Structure 1
Amino acid sequence: MSDGPEENPAEVESSGELAAAAEEHDPTGVDLARQIAASVSAIKRPAAKPRKRRPPRPTGVQSSGSHPDDRDPMLVGDALDRLVGEKGWNTQVNIHLLLGNWPRLVGAVNAQHSQPESFADGILTVRTSSTAWATQLRLFAPQLVARLNKDLGDGSVTRINVKGPDAPSWKHGRRSVRGRGPRDTYG
């Protein structure tokens, strides 16, 4: 018989498994972490949605602060004044405003018999109701030019062209006579 205690063959077999398990066991847990990572990566996840791009931020000062700047709301009149100034329309707008007040410029009686027709290249064209009123306004033209230049800025109006009334055409029908027609007060 043997000198030591008798060993059961089933116990020997289980003790061999324990010894093998003890040798396979990693006390740091690296193998276990690898197994978990492999099982997680094997799981299919839905694809990530692409991120929406934000518009680029404007550079420069972004806050208006307590002082007014270009981004502050403004009155319509102020916005129109700014637009007229940026486009260089100041002289044209001012001339049309003054010509809208024609009776104030030339007087009520002269305004009843004349009205401004056009303004181009510093020349103001005025139409009158008769040749007598055209003569009267031609005599008054230098003072009117000085007054307009004073209100609008020097050199805005260089000359006033005064015209009489439009004459009717005397060329009616097949048989018309050559010449100017009746000589009346048609300027």
Structure 2
Amino acid sequence: MADTGGGPGGDPRTGAGDKSGPELARAAVEAALAKRKAQPRRKAVPEGGGDSRRRRGYTGPGPDPRDPQLFGALLGRVVKARGWQRPAAEATVFGEWERVVGADVAAHCRPIKLEDGELTVEAESTAWATQLRMLSGRLIARIAGEVGHNVVKKLHIHGPSTPSWSRGPMRVRGRGPRDTYG
């Protein structure tokens, strides 16, 4: 029969000698631990820079990817990753209208729609519509400075919209009101 380490000639590496069962297992574990302690410890990152693919551990001081993130920074990364920069810039024109064109201009007009780089603006009076038409080049430059170039390429400026007099059961044909609005 073959010797399995249970007799007097046991395995000299484990010091098993005439041990069996739990004593043999305990001796094997102790020998492995002693061997591990005897070996020199390896550094976590070799001096030459090491493997660039190896990830940094999550223990120790400093930030790691699992830390809570600021919502604005996270949203900015998502917008960039999904390619939503242009729709976000277009939404800024409507959402931040007063900041984009200035408080004095924003008090007298409002954006209506933005399609294919053409922004439609409604002024509160015909006088303001005329004024905005003269300032259209400056407005486009200011919008480009705030939200980005080529978001708004052209402005369509309209005066105030008048109510329709053609509704109702008792409608009278005719020219309707003349110079009542604007």
TM-score normalised by the chain length of structure 2? 0.56
Q: Which structure is larger by alpha-carbon Rg, 1 or 2? A: 1
Amino acid of the residue matched to residue 126 of structure 2? T
Structure 1 or 2: more helix by fraction = 1
Measure how far apart 1:86 and its partner are.
1.7
Identity of aligned residues (%): 43
Measure how far apart 1:98 and its partner are.
4.5
Instruction: Work out whether 1:74 is the aligned partner of 2:74.
Output: no
Amino acid of the residue matched to residue 142 of structure 2? R
Measure how far apart 1:64 and its partner are.
4.4
Amino acid of the residue matched to residue 79 of structure 1? L
| Residue of structure 2 equivalent to 1:177 | 173
How many angstroms apart in 2 are the aligned matches of 1:147 and 1:137? 13
Judged with a 3 Å threshold, the aligned counterparts in structure 2 of structure 1 residues 185 and 178 are, in CA distance, closer, same or farther, namely closer
| Residue of structure 1 equivalent to 2:132 | 137
Residue correspondence of structure 1 range 16-95 to structure 2 within 5 A: 63-65=55-57, 73-95=68-90
Q: Deviations over 1:65-85 (max 9, x none)?
A: 479786665322221111111
Measure how far apart 1:131 and its partner are.
1.4
Q: Is the 8 A contact 2:101 2:142 kept in 1?
A: no
How many angstroms apart in 2 are the aligned matches of 1:98 and 1:175? 40
| Residue of structure 1 equivalent to 2:92 | 97
Q: Deviations over 1:139-170 (max 9, x none)?
A: 11111112222333332211111122221111
TM-score normalised by the chain length of structure 1? 0.55
How many angstroms apart in 2 are the aligned matches of 1:153 and 1:122? 12
Measure how far apart 1:185 and its partner are.
5.6
| Residue of structure 2 equivalent to 1:38 | none
Judged with a 3 Å threshold, the aligned counterparts in structure 2 of structure 1 residues 103 and 154 are, in CA distance, closer, same or farther, namely closer
Q: Is the 8 A contact 1:131 1:185 kept in 2?
A: no
Measure how far apart 1:126 and its partner are.
1.3
How many angstroms apart in 2 are the aligned matches of 1:175 and 1:76? 56
Q: Is the 8 A contact 1:164 1:186 kept in 2?
A: no
| Residue of structure 2 equivalent to 1:40 | none
How many angstroms apart in 1 are the aligned matches of 2:90 and 2:135? 18
Residue correspondence of structure 1 range 142-153 to structure 2 within 5 A: 142-153=137-148
Aligned residues: 127
| Residue of structure 1 equivalent to 2:115 | 120
How many angstroms apart in 1 are the aligned matches of 2:171 and 2:91? 45
Instruction: Structure 1 unaligned segments of length 5 or more: list them.
Output: 1-27, 29-60
How many angstroms apart in 1 are the aligned matches of 2:162 and 2:155? 21
How many angstroms apart in 2 are the aligned matches of 1:111 and 1:152? 16
Judged with a 3 Å threshold, the aligned counterparts in structure 2 of structure 1 residues 80 and 105 are, in CA distance, closer, same or farther, namely closer
